[in-house]
Amino acid sequence: MECNEGKLLSCHYYPECPEPDLAIGITKHTDNSFLTIVAQDQTGGLQVLHKNQFWVDVEHIPGALVVNIGDFLQLVSNDKFKSNVHRVLPSHKPRVSAAFFFGGRLAPLATARLYGPIKELTSEKKSSQVQRSSTG
């Protein structure tokens, strides 16, 4: 599936926010990647949605990485693994993070590849497919 062919490193600097209660931050979303590996600093701010009901802080553990399941892994696993909904809250302190996204091979739309669940994980009752391209 070439899940390691499309790699993207994204480094983020979130400046201090004088009034974080009035700011939005990075709104809730999922990543369209296979996996996302995140290194975050001690400031925190990353949260995951638990059981679609409440937000849980992702605690900073020195030397640890956060691994998020993305939409692409959810697709190929036929929903065995769910893409996690997460967000970043604004803070009085500046924050730094680096996210490494593993995705499928990025290609022009004309040569896009059709992806779907791994055959062993499908039945006639439950199957889906999606086309991946350089636009996401």
Q: What rounded mean pLDDT belongs to the chain?
A: 83
Q: Which residue has the higher pLDDT, 6 or 36?
A: 36
Q: What percent of the chain has pLDDT over 70?
A: 79
Task: Using DSSP, state whether 15 is helix, strand or coil.
Answer: coil
**Cβ–Cβ < 8 Å for 122, 78:** yes
pLDDT in tens, 84-106: 999 999 999 999 999 999 886 65
Q: Please, are residues 88 and 45 in contact by the beta-carbon 8 Å criterion?
A: yes
Measured between alpha carbons, how far is 24 from 123 in angstroms, rounded to an integer?
A: 41
**Per CATH, the architecture of 6-106 is what?**
Sandwich (2.60)
Domain ranges of the chain: 6-106
* Mean pLDDT score, 105-132: 61
> Alpha-carbon distance 102 to 35, whole Å?
5
What's 93's DSSP letter?
S
pLDDT in tens, 35-73: 999 999 998 889 999 999 999 999 999 999 999 999 999
Question: What is the DSSP code string of 19-80?
Answer: -GGG---EEEE--SSSEEEEEE-TT--EEEEETTTEEEE----TT--EEEE-HHHHHHTTTS
